[in-house]
């Protein structure tokens, strides 16, 4: 991996490189995505099935697009009992974590005759997209479906690509069943997003679409936002490790590579105050590359978006980390908890040398659907709140409104909205507003 000194210039160059990975920079695909969306919107199943045949080489129609209970039973038979048990263990942790995120309706009354509150209700129908291209992601099934179910969503619709024989990966189906997905459809890519956004004869329209995917999926979610809600426009995966001289270089190298193997656009960055650690991590990376199965993908990722930055101080390192606002941030220092207090922007924060990033991907419980491409500055991990909506509750008695009428009328008339003011005045006709 390249080793460079952290300066304002190198930090600026790094941020510029990372932003190139954003779906917003792949405008050349937008016209194609828009064409797919419009076709599915206008022609429904006809277009959906045609695109499935074109891209996935699968003969899918109304009779076989929905995964059957028989297919799910077959999936359990084709999945090792050991993996099923791991999925169930992870599910317990994920559900337990997300149950702590629940919010409840509240009401606050006063002696003056007012009641103000907030009603919290789940979405009626949530759509979950699960990728199925370069790798299989049953873990993403759990991370998307569980918070929806914890929120109380009654109908969770899941779409995922199938193979040329019309089969969905068995582990994906097992995870969906265990997590509580209500309906599973064999559809992938931008056409699946369009189907959930507008509805077809086979796939129902949803209220919100969540889940990661390739550039076509990301741009499709961006295009349908407004017709439905979405969680975010996810970019390629990324990890940033903050480390000092106490860090184990072998552990750090392994963690960097755990994200670089996702795809060629993944980013792996180490920021350290130790030049010696930087050299050792680079050597360990070279050693691991000889052993790992996805070496070609990892090498391209590191060549394009892999960095080892050597900072003069930990304060400089933290400042750079906050500027990057990484999806995954590992803090491997003498006192990681103290460093963590200075972090302002990160999707998920892993503390200490035994809290490696894959722990969060699969098992610990917090959601691994995280903000990418610097959006951790204003976005949060997927959670229960993403599957709820809130309504404000307002009640005023006549006496309470009488006390407030002058202020409301004055505000409305200042904005020249006389009908607003009149709506208050008519309730006290004959009494005078006192204005």
**What gap in Å lies between CA 403 and CA 160, rounded to an integer?**
57
101 is known to lie in a ligand binding site? no
**What gap in Å lies between CA 119 and CA 121, rounded to an integer?**
6
262 is known to lie in a ligand binding site? yes
Question: Is the separation of the CB atoms in 227 and 76 below 8 Å?
Answer: no
**What gap in Å lies between CA 203 and CA 201, rounded to an integer?**
6
415 is known to lie in a ligand binding site? yes
35 is known to lie in a ligand binding site? no
Question: Angle 63-68-74 (CA atoms, 0-180°, nearest 5)?
Answer: 130
Residues 6+ positions from 247 with CB-CB distance below 8 Å: 241, 272, 274, 277, 332, 333, 353
137 is known to lie in a ligand binding site? no
**Per the structure block, which two tokens stand in for 314?**
């930990």
- Known catalytic residue: 328? yes
165 is known to lie in a ligand binding site? no
368 is known to lie in a ligand binding site? no
Q: What are the CA-CA distances from residue 32 to residues 20, 184, 219 (Å)?
A: 20, 26, 10
* Residue 165 burial (CB count, 10 A): 8
Out of 178, 238, 284, 328, the active site residue is 328
* Residues constituting the chain: 435
- Known catalytic residue: 42? no
**Per the structure block, which two tokens stand in for 84?**
């099923």
Out of 178, 238, 284, 327, the active site residue is 327
Helix axes 295-305, 275-289, angle to 10 degrees: 150
Residues 6+ positions from 393 with CB-CB distance below 8 Å: 107, 115, 116, 117, 118, 119
Residues 6+ positions from 154 with CB-CB distance below 8 Å: 122, 124, 125, 182
Question: Is the separation of the CB atoms in 126 and 157 below 8 Å?
Answer: yes
**What gap in Å lies between CA 360 and CA 358, rounded to an integer?**
5
80 is known to lie in a ligand binding site? no
Q: Catalogue the active-site residues.
A: 327-328
Q: Which residues are annotated as a binding site for Zn(2+)?
A: 259, 262, 361, 420
Q: Which residues are annotated as a binding site?
A: 129, 191, 214, 237, 259, 262, 328, 361, 415, 420
Q: Which residues are annotated as a binding site for substrate?
A: 237, 259, 262, 328, 361, 415, 420
């Amino acid at each position: 991996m390249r080793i460079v000194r952290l300066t304002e210039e190198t930090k600026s160059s790094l941020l510029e490189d990372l932003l190139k990975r954003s779906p917003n920079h792949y405008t050349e695909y937008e016209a194609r995505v828009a064409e797919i969306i419009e076709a599915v919107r206008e022609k429904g199943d006809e277009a959906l099935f045609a695109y499935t045949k074109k891209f996935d080489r699968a003969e899918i129609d109304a009779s076989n697009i929905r995964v059957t209970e028989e297919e799910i039973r077959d999936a359990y038979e084709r999945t090792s009992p050991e993996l099923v048990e791991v999925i169930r263990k992870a599910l317990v942790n994920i559900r337990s974590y997300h149950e702590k995120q629940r919010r409840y309706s509240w009401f606050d009354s006063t002696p003056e005759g007012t009641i103000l509150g907030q009603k919290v209700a789940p979405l009626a129908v949530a759509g979950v997209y699960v990728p199925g291209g370069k790798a299989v992601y049953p873990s993403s099934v759990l991370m998307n479906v569980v918070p929806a179910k914890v929120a109380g969503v009654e109908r969770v619709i899941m779409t995922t690509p199938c193979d040329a024989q019309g089969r969905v990966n068995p582990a994906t189906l097992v995870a969906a069943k265990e997590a509580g997905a209500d309906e599973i459809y064999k559809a992938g890519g931008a056409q699946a997003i369009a189907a959930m956004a507008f509805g077809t004869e086979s796939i129902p329209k949803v209220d919100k679409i969540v889940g990661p995917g390739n550039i076509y999926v990301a741009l499709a979610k961006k295009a349908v936002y407004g017709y439905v809600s979405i969680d975010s426009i996810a970019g390629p995966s990324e990890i940033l490790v903050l480390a000092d001289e106490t860090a184990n270089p072998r552990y750090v190298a392994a963690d960097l590579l755990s994200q670089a193997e996702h795809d060629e656009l993944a980013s792996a960055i180490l920021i350290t105050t130790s030049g010696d650690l930087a050299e050792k991590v680079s050597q360990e990376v070279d050693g691991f590359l000889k052993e790992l199965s996805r070496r070609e993908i990892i090498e391209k990722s590191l060549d394009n978006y892999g960095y080892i930055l050597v900072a003069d101080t930990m304060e400089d390192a933290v400042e750079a980390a906050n500027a990057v606002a990484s999806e995954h941030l590992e803090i491997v220092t003498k006192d990681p908890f103290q460093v963590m207090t200075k972090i302002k922007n990160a999707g998920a924060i892993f503390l200490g040398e035994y809290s490696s990033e894959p722990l969060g991907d699969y098992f610990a419980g917090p959601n691994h659907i995280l903000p990418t491409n610097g959006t951790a500055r204003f976005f949060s991990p997927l959670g229960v709140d993403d599957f709820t909506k809130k309504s404000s509750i307002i009640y005023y008695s006549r006496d309470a409104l009488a006390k407030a009428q002058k202020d409301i009328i004055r505000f409305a008339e200042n904005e020249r909205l006389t009908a607003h003011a009149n709506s208050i005045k008519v309730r006290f006709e004959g009494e005078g507003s006192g204005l």
